[in-house]
Amino acid sequence: MKLLFFISDIELNEENRGDLHLHSHSQHEMIFCYEGNSDYINNGDLLFYPAGQEHKLSRVPGKSLKLKQIYFDEELFSSSVHVEKEALFILGQIKLYLKFNNSVSLSKIGSERVGKLFESMEWEFKNRYHGYSWTIRLKLIELLVTLMRDREFIIPIRREIAQPLSNSHIQDVLFYINTNYMNSITIEKVLKFCPLSRSHFHALFKQETGTTFIQYLNEVRSNRAKELLATTSDSILDISLKCGFNNLSHFGHTFNTVVGMAPGSYRREAVSLSKIR
């Protein structure tokens, strides 16, 4: 049976030093510090590692940390329920902008709320009364919404994402693009779940977002490529594939159109700016 959710307490001290080696998980991982301070996490801080991202968690000599750790799989959210589709959309936005700085900034109120949600989920997980899995899912949704609404957690979100659209079909398509940009996306695939004619869809998409379907898809993929070019040492070919482009030629042309320069030039400029800072 696939693990969809797991929560546990961790204490990093002289006996338990943590994982000193880079590793990754097939589930998303969140870590909340409820006691202790160190150079990378302090009391009330939250760390968020998306699935597949390499990281390590180790104790700082002379200091003890008490943490709560959550693993959860996106399958925990059912896409058949609209509110949970929005939760997946929020999660997609958070993953998109976490980059390599996995420390999530929270206000004092936000940190207290997150701490209580962790405690509540841990209680549900340990006692496992009827409906506990549903309760955990709802509390995870509440946690994600808490992050997005916290005044200290600021991420760049496109206008049409920040402001609700009037048409739910277009909302579904934007959600689909932002969470599946790395895969093959065609208008034919979209129209299988969007009950509109091709011409009506294109007209409505332009009306709601101010851009075309292809332009929006290219912007999402190119913006993700910008992040990877600036923050990783992955080859340009690997980055193009991770962002949903079929080949280097298509990637180079699209990226240049959206960003205004070639991928290699963008990487060199980003590296130079990081050295200056």
Where are the domains positioned within the chain? 5-149, 165-276
User: What per-residue confidence (pLDDT) applies to 158?
Assistant: 44
Pick the closest to residue 58 from 34, 31, 98 (CA basis).
31
- Stated as kind and residue range, the H or E segment containing 270 is helix 263-276
Q: How far from 153 is each of 42, 77, 82, 227, CA to CA, in Å?
A: 17, 23, 24, 18
**Which residues of the chain are under the pLDDT cut of 70?**
1-3, 15-20, 58-62, 78-89, 93, 96-97, 99-101, 154-168, 274-277
Q: Tell me which CATH homologous superfamily contains domain 5-149.
A: Regulatory protein AraC (2.60.120.280)
137 in Cβ contact with 77 (< 8 Å)? yes
Q: What is the pTM of this model?
A: 0.46
CATH topology of domain 165-276: Arc Repressor Mutant, subunit A (1.10.10)
Task: Please give the structure tokens belonging to residue 74.
Answer: 């996106």
Q: Is 113 helix (H, G, I), strand (E, B) or coil?
A: helix
In degrees and rounded to multiples of 5, residue 227 shows phi and psi of -65, -45
User: What per-residue confidence (pLDDT) applies to 81?
Assistant: 44
Task: Please give the structure tokens belonging to residue 210.
Answer: 């101010």
Other C-beta atoms lying within 10 Å of the C-beta of residue 264: 12
Burial of 184 (0-12, 13-18, 19+ CB in 10 A): exposed
In sequence order, which residues have a C-beta less than 8 Å from that of residue 54 and are 6 or more positions away?
22, 23, 24
